[in-house]
Structure 1
């Protein structure tokens, strides 16, 4: 039987991101209030995760990710830095790995390749080989446009950008380039701060199947494709293999139909369209969840093209989602998203929440095609 729990949420500004640890025993949460919170799975009957520690940061945090294990985490934000935090140290020691030219908005870690990737509004991708000494293996790659989202498979990095541009990079090729960068530093041929921007050709380039700005991208667990979402209340599902190009499809979601009385005195039905802010696949069942500006979380089956489940509306916009590796929990960061046009108003801090849904055994399982 499923249940939803609200975690202790000390955040006083909107939540930007969250991610379960490799074992699923911990949950990392980043916030605009300049903190990263770490939650530990507990045996408490009232909540499955309890607050373990808060890491104080120099600037608002835009994205977080775990490293190779649960003692290392990474985060990026408005201060332009890519930072590593040692969660096993008493003072949560932080190390700056690189600095972008503008704010860094996304970060992701590949455990298969031991690579840390970050993107920035300066239009670059930073790649760190974590097997090498910090700072010696920095690879800067010029992106085709300003990036909005990133997701990794075991062998690929998918970067979604402005103007509907999509670039897919081969992680092994990126790692080989970081090793060349390391050799240059070790031989004294270049200072760390003088690393040039590399114009690397992506493994694949394509145009998004969505007409408006991309909000999120998520790779399929089997590495064969990915899903993207946009501000227009749509999701597209596509595959890497050219032979499956015909299987690509898009669908509408996170919309609300309301009835209004027009100037003519007649009632008219109109659609209110919300951005799809968050997108994540369940690694066990292969289904995926979406979170929207309407406060709704829904589960979808990419193969049968059917909605599996829709949950009760949250108190505010869903800003971030993640499934635990075992598929048992679905975490959501809930915060005011200003979709109601109230940007100039002070938001209610009581609307900022971290909720975790414990799923029933087959709750996220796909549905047979009709």
Structure 2
């Protein structure tokens, strides 16, 4: 179980999987992608200080994109999420604030921190926004009020956050994973040292709220159950590696229907996995640049992913004049995302 791997050959092609290309992508690297919970409206945040919105038109297996609107922040934007009404977008980033944007209306600032805001999530069950920052705090906001409802100290800078009410998992620097039960949000439920030896990049709470996935910069994912009785089900696996080259796992997304999951990495590939049968369902061909972020739409019929420079090799390896930024849409086949029992044939899958 140590290795779920063997990446496809690296291609000079940005789109070897023949995915649909989103029109008028951002002018700089893409930091987050999020679909409306109610419709196929996609939002992307970018290092060019913009939040952009497209309508994705779906006709059978064909997709098309229509740019709709955009707003600006004063500095690079790092994260985005939607209110459960499906018409309101929240975005946060290096200007240390969160803007609430009713689509078609004017954005207003609804949250502030003392350092860049790395992660945000809307919690419909509480009607609260939660924000995680590099200022080592997490704050809960009633967006009708100027001050946070509660400020939670974190042991380090917030790097990743995932909510499946009542479970919330926060990954910080120094490999801390802090688990909250949102029925008692002002108290840590559990603090865990990551099962992975290197810096946390992403977390994803299980759809059944029984545990979470964690991905790190060393091409590895940990599957962790919260119940002490289930600890024998915990494991880690390697992915996003090519020979001795090891790449960051940048994004983890559960399929909303089948509850399998996707990983996307700095090697430019995305893969679909089934944690319960411990197998890879589908490996996609590698794009010619990293995939920094990805997401499923609300019914899992579209997987959106960005292909662009991810800053992992620093500013000296980035030439904004020649850099290309893409957002692609993949239509998953059922066999790619539906769990299936593991068949032991003795051969490699």
TM-score scaled to structure 2, two decimals?
0.88
The structure number with the bigger radius of gyration is 1
Distance 1:113 1:344, change over 3 A: same
Cα deviations by residue, 1:312-331 (Å, 9 ceiling, x for unpaired): 11231001011112111100
Matching residue of 2:178: 167
Match of 1:240 among 217, 220, 226: 226
Cα deviations by residue, 1:133-165 (Å, 9 ceiling, x for unpaired): 332553211112111100001212110011111
Q: 1: distance between equivalents of 2:215 and 2:124?
A: 25
Match of 2:261 among 288, 291, 315: 288
The answer on 1:128 being equivalent to 2:141 is: yes
Matching residue of 1:213: 199
Matching residue of 1:54: 70
Question: What secondary structure is seen at the aligned counterpart in 1 of 2:69?
Answer: strand
Question: What secondary structure is seen at the aligned counterpart in 2 of 1:343?
Answer: helix
Q: 2: distance between equivalents of 1:33 and 1:367?
A: 42
The answer on 1:97 being equivalent to 2:110 is: yes
Matching residue of 1:36: 51
The answer on 1:118 being equivalent to 2:151 is: no
Match of 1:312 among 285, 297, 302: 285
Once the 2 structures are TM-superposed, how far is the Cα of residue 167 of structure 1 from its aligned partner? 0.7
Which runs of 5 or more structure 2 residues have no equivalent in the other structure? Answer: 1-16, 344-349
* Aligned pairs for 1:187-202 within 5 A: 200-202=186-188
Cα deviations by residue, 1:222-262 (Å, 9 ceiling, x for unpaired): 111110100011000011111111211001111112xxxxx
Aligned length: 326
Cα deviations by residue, 1:183-215 (Å, 9 ceiling, x for unpaired): xxxxxxxxxxxxxxxxx4301111110000000
The answer on 1:146 being equivalent to 2:162 is: no
Once the 2 structures are TM-superposed, how far is the Cα of residue 341 of structure 1 from its aligned partner? 7.0
Q: 2: distance between equivalents of 1:296 and 1:352?
A: 15
Greater Cα offset, 69-78 or 347-356: 347-356
Match of 1:226 among 203, 212, 226: 212
Greater Cα offset, 328-337 or 133-142: 133-142
Q: Name the structure, 1 or 2, with higher relative contact order (CA <8 Å, separation 6+).
A: 2
Q: 2: distance between equivalents of 1:244 and 1:215?
A: 24
Work out whether residues 274 and 339 of structure 1, in 8 Å CA contact, stay in contact via their aligned partners in 2. Answer: no
Q: 2: distance between equivalents of 1:56 and 1:338?
A: 21
Matching residue of 2:90: 74
Q: 2: distance between equivalents of 1:43 and 1:252?
A: 34
Work out whether residues 7 and 47 of structure 1, in 8 Å CA contact, stay in contact via their aligned partners in 2. Answer: no
Once the 2 structures are TM-superposed, how far is the Cα of residue 57 of structure 1 from its aligned partner? 1.8
Once the 2 structures are TM-superposed, how far is the Cα of residue 46 of structure 1 from its aligned partner? 6.0
C-alpha RMSD of the superposition: 1.9
Distance 1:349 1:12, change over 3 A: farther
TM-score scaled to structure 1, two decimals?
0.83
Q: 2: distance between equivalents of 1:341 and 1:56?
A: 24
Question: What secondary structure is seen at the aligned counterpart in 1 of 2:184?
Answer: helix
Once the 2 structures are TM-superposed, how far is the Cα of residue 344 of structure 1 from its aligned partner? 4.0
Match of 1:297 among 252, 270, 283: 270
Q: 1: distance between equivalents of 2:91 and 2:168?
A: 18
Work out whether residues 98 and 138 of structure 1, in 8 Å CA contact, stay in contact via their aligned partners in 2. Answer: no
Matching residue of 2:27: 12
Matching residue of 2:346: none
Work out whether residues 139 and 148 of structure 2, in 8 Å CA contact, stay in contact via their aligned partners in 1. Answer: no
Q: 1: distance between equivalents of 2:247 and 2:224?
A: 22
Match of 1:334 among 307, 322, 344: 307
Once the 2 structures are TM-superposed, how far is the Cα of residue 343 of structure 1 from its aligned partner? 3.1
